[in-house]
């Protein structure tokens, strides 16, 4: 299938992380998590994928209230959260950083501790985004993982500390250490993140891409050239 895009690699990692979940809910402006969930859905049709604030795939007739109700009832297994900053204690900052204001925390403080499979996701991996301590705590919880454009970390609940599980192709453990503002442990099975296989790429480009284009047209145009 030839070379692959970073977005395709990250989608494949997300599909593996979501795994056996029954219901994955995805916030607005999250095309890569959505791509990963729809990729998994091609192999697992019973997976429910809810794209919040997207007209075609948003099943919430009562908007955010229904999303929060489902989370409170334990009916959402996976949710994705990011932030202008993420720190070594798994806190996220969605409010302000380096003198800049952002849209705000919305329901992150509610969703984070309630959804057991919360995945922290931030494509940029730098000391600017992965910091020792966030400037403002929007939410704190027990994440299932932290995925960035360079690496995958697991969360050690007993230590309240991240552990590096894999580094993406083109990166290295040394580069990850240099680009990360907080300290973390190394997995005993630390490895390079597996590249997408031919079947995954074919599925992404022929089945998933048209689905994603309906709700994330700019993303689909940039990654797959779909107009």
CA 28/CA 133 separation, integer angstroms:
26
pTM for the structure as a whole: 0.92
Residue 68 pLDDT: 78
pLDDT digits (tens, 9 = 90+) for 6-38: 999 999 999 999 999 999 999 778 999 999 999
Domain 85-194 belongs to what topology?
A: Glutaconate Coenzyme A-transferase (3.40.1080)
Residue 178 pLDDT: 98
Place of tokens 């501790």: 113
CA 87/CA 85 separation, integer angstroms:
7
DSSP category for residue 206: I
Provide CATH 3.40.1080.10 ranges for the chain: 85-194
Burial class (CB in 10 A: 0-12, 13-18, 19+), 58: middle
């Amino acid at each position: 299938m030839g070379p692959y895009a970073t977005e395709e690699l990250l989608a494949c990692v997300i599909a593996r992380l979501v795994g056996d979940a029954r219901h994955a809910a995805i916030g607005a402006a999250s095309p890569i998590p959505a791509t990963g969930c729809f990729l998994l859905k091609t192999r697992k049709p019973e997976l429910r994928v809810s794209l919040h604030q997207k007209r075609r795939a948003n099943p919430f007739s009562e908007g955010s209230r229904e999303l929060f109700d489902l989370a409170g009832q334990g009916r959402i297994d996976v949710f994705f959260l990011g932030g202008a900053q993420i720190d070594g204690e798994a806190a996220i900052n969605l409010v302000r950083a380096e003198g800049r204001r952002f849209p705000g925390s919305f329901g992150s403080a509610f969703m984070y501790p309630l959804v057991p499979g919360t995945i922290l996701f931030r494509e940029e991996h730098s000391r600017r985004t992965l910091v020792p301590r966030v400037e403002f705590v929007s939410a704190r919880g027990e994440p299932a993982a932290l995925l960035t454009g360079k690496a995958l970390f697991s969360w050690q609940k007993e230590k309240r500390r991240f552990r590096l599980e894999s580094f993406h192709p083109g990166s290295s453990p040394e580069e990850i250490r240099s680009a990360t503002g907080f300290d973390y442990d190394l997995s005993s099975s630390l490895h390079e993140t597996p590249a997408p296989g031919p079947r995954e790429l074919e599925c992404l480009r022929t089945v998933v891409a048209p689905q994603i284009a309906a709700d994330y047209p700019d993303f689909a145009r940039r990654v797959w050239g779909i107009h």
